[in-house]
Structure 1
């Protein structure tokens, strides 16, 4: 073992002080425990869950595109990012349109199947 000089004597007991503190926000935990206690008072009562949010979709494409590039002018290095962002938005819009058509087709098939 090392000599009992001040540099070799441990200054802490080896345990972190963070372990002593409770984790999380006490107010939130208190609210949750109160809500659970309220729910457990009447276990036969049905619980209403909130509905899922509907997907918003994308904004329609712009009517007028302000930065139209001509074929005779050379595009600078900054124009690439403008083009790439525009292409990404259009691709996303087309993908969402395809998903919507596919969903409508599945819904129509389901309605037809249920009608049989």
Structure 2
């Protein structure tokens, strides 16, 4: 796990190579496969937490925090239960999530994102 003060200095963080410890998704959230998730908090900026999150293939439900993220690698979808809208995710995509949204993440290739929450 990186030193969470790194982003408060002039040090580069290689988000693509960052080692993230993954844990199995809790049974009550797991919808398909055997997905694992993990994150590393990198620091804070303007009152927002900045970190890196990863999920392996499978599907899980979640309730979102207020967040903006950028996909670094991987592929999948995020479905919004309230509207039924499904958004494809690929490297370079930037997306906004709003606190309280109920989602289903279906990951087909291990996905990593940098988030601001």
| Greater RCO (CA < 8 Å, at least 6 residues apart) | 2
Higher-Rg member (1/2): 1
Normalised to the residue count of structure 2, the TM-score between the two structures is 0.16
Normalised to the residue count of structure 1, the TM-score between the two structures is 0.16
Structure (1/2) with the larger strand percentage: 2
